[in-house]
Amino acid sequence: MATRNDGGIMYTFQWKIENISHCCWLKVQDEIESPVFDTDALEDAKWSLVLRLLGADYKNYVGFFLRRQDSDGPTEIEINYKLAFLGKDGSVLREKFSSHIFPFEYALGYQKFESRERIFFTEREEFLPEDALTVQVTLWKKDESIAKLKHLYARTVFKVNRISFVWRIENYSAVKPLLRNKHKDNLIEFDLVLNDDLGKVEIDMISFDDSIKYVSFNTSIIDSEGKKKNIRVSKYFAGDLKKGILSCMFIPKLLMGNKRLYLPNDVLSLYFESVYSTETKSNELFDCRIISPKLTKELVENSSNSAVLIDDLKSMYMDGILSDMELRTSKQTFPAHKNILSARSPVFRRMFSNDMKESSSGHVDITDLESDTVHRMLLYIYTDILEDLQIESACKLYTAADKYEIMSLKGECSSFLKDNLCPTKTCDVLILADQHQDDNLKSAVQDYILEHNEVFNLLEWQHFMETNLKLAAEVMYRKVKSGKIYPASG
C-alpha cells in the first residue's frame, strides 16, 4: 500500500480527571477545564476541553465542550472534531462527531453528552475506573486529507485527604453515653461521640479550614472475623459543617443482637474513613511525539482495489459470512474462518492442522483476553487495520499478538507504544516489555525514561519502585552509568 505524505495532522487529546466523584461540591454551571493544548498544524490554534457536571437546564446530564482559546492564527477556523468518553482500556463508551467554525474564545459541544446516572451509578465501573473519568477529543482540519497523527495527554487530579481509623470500645455494655474519640489534622478537627442509647454516633465538628468544600464519612462495624459491614455513608458540604453537630451513623439493633459476631468479648469495633476535598487540583500536560504515516495504517487509501478487498474481508468477519470457527471469550463469541486464521497465525495453523480439540469442536475458548482485544486482533487479521488505539488497548493487543505469533501485529503494537510513550504510561509499557522478553521495546522505554526526568517525580514511578524493584533498579543503573543524575533543587 502507498502512503500519502502531503496531508495534514489529526490531533487526539486525551484528558484524565482523577478523584472526580469528590467534585460534588461544584455548583450548577461550574466548569472543569483541561490544560490548554496546542495544534500547530491547525493554524496555531490553542484549545481546551470543558466538563460541566451539573448544568442549569440539564441537571441530570454531564455537558462536554471543546473551547478555542485566544491565540495566534486566523479569526475563525473550521474543523471536524469527535468528543468521546473512554473506558479503562481506551474503549469508546460515548462518542459524538461534529463540524463547525470556531472563532476565538468560542466553545461548542453538548449540554446532554451523557447522563449522570450512567456515569456515577448504573455504569460507574465502566465510566469511572478508580474514580477517574477519561475524556478525549480528536480534531482535524475540514476537507484536508490526513497523513499523520499526534497524541497529547493531560491529567487533572483533585486533591483529597483521607483519614481512616478503628475505634475499639471495650466493655461496651457498661459504657456510658458521651464517650468521645478525637481526630485532628492540619485542615480539620472533629470528635466522634457515642450518644443516646449507645446505638448512635454523632460528629462534633470542632474546626475546619475554609478551603474544605466537602466531607464524607464511611462507617462500618468490624465483626469477629475481621470483616467490615458497611453501616452508612454520610456526605456533608461546607454549609453543613458550620452546624457543628452532624449525624454519622445508627448501629442497627439487629446487628447488636448478634453479640457473638459483632460484640466479641464485649468489644465493639467501628471502622471510620473520612475523605474531604478542597478546590485544590494539579494539572499535567504531556506532549507526545507524532506518529509517522506508516503507523496511521494508510488513513487515505490510494488504491481503490485494495480498499474494496479490505471492505469485503471486513464484511466477511463482521457479518460472519460462511464462518466455520468461533472464538469465544468469557463475554462474547466471534465467528471466524479457519483458513484466514491459519494464514495469519502459526498458532491457529497448528491448532487446526493437527487433531486438536478446537478443530473438531468448532470453537476456540480464549478466557485470558478481553472481548475488545479479540475483536481488535480479528479486525487486524482480516483487514490489516488498527482502529483507535490507545496505550492500554495497544498493550493488551501486543499480548494477544505475542500469544498467537502474529508478528506483524506485534511489531505494529510495539511501534505504536514507542511513538506514544508518555510519562504516566512508561511503567506499564516497561513491565509489558519485560514480561514478553522484548529487549528492543524495553530498551526504548528505558531510553524514554532517561530522557524525561519528570517520570521520577510521578506517583506511578513510586508505585513501580515498590512493586517492580528489579526493573526500577535496571533503569537507575542505566541512569547512573549514563551520568544523567540531576542535583536536588534547594
Residues 136 and 203 in one domain: no
Helix extents (H) in 93-191? 116-117, 124-127
DSSP state of 296: G
Task: Say what the pTM is.
Answer: 0.56
pLDDT digits (tens, 9 = 90+) for 188-199: 888 888 876 667
171, part of any domain: yes
More reliable by pLDDT, 224 or 137: 137
pLDDT digits (tens, 9 = 90+) for 461-477: 999 999 999 999 999 98
Q: 74-83, 235-244, 366-375, 378-387 — which is least confidently predicted? A: 235-244
Residues 72 and 168 in one domain: no
434, part of any domain: no
Q: Predicted confidence band at 248 (pLDDT cuts at 50, 70, 90)?
A: low
CA–CA separation, 205 and 87 (whole Å): 39
CA–CA separation, 133 and 123 (whole Å): 12
Q: What is the mean pLDDT of residues 381-394?
A: 86
Q: What is the CATH number of the domain that holds 122?
A: 2.60.210.10
Residues 265 and 168 in one domain: yes
Last residue of a domain, one of 334, 360, 393: 393
Residues 141 and 165 in one domain: no
Q: What is the mean pLDDT of residues 427-452?
A: 93
Beta strands in 21-145 (DSSP E): 32-33, 37-39, 45-52, 61-68, 76-86, 92-103, 106-115, 132-141
The residue segments making up the domain with residue 33 are 9-147
465, part of any domain: no
Residue type at 267 in one-letter notation: V
Residues 315 and 344 in one domain: yes
Last residue of a domain, one of 280, 315, 345: 280
295 has pLDDT over 60: no
CA–CA separation, 134 and 157 (whole Å): 12
Q: What is the mean pLDDT of residues 260-283?
A: 82
Residue type at 62 in one-letter notation: V
Q: Predicted confidence band at 306 (pLDDT cuts at 50, 70, 90)?
A: low
Residues 197 and 70 in one domain: no
Q: Centre a 10 Å sphere on the Cβ of residue 218 and count the other Cβ atoms it contains.
A: 18
Task: Give the burial string for 339-349 (b: 16+ CB within 10 Å, else e).
Answer: ebbbebbeebb
Q: What is the CATH number of the domain that holds 314?
A: 3.30.710.10
More reliable by pLDDT, 476 or 361: 476
Q: What is the mean pLDDT of residues 230-243?
A: 80
| Number of domains into which the chain is organized | 3
Q: What is the mean pLDDT of residues 16-37?
A: 83
Q: What is the mean pLDDT of residues 258-274?
A: 87
Residues 23 and 128 in one domain: yes
Residues 59 and 183 in one domain: no
Residues 332 and 386 in one domain: yes
400, part of any domain: no
Pairing, β 363-365 against β 325-328: parallel
Single out the residue of 187, 136, 199 nearest to residue 160, CA to CA: 187
Residues 209 and 183 in one domain: yes
Cβ atoms of 460 and 424 within 8 Å: the answer is yes
pLDDT digits (tens, 9 = 90+) for 311-329: 778 888 888 888 888 999 9
pLDDT digits (tens, 9 = 90+) for 70-92: 877 889 999 999 999 998 777 88
Residues 137 and 17 in one domain: yes
Residues 377 and 266 in one domain: no
Last residue of a domain, one of 90, 122, 147: 147
What are the φ and ψ backbone dihedral angles of 185, each rounded to 5 degrees? -135, -165
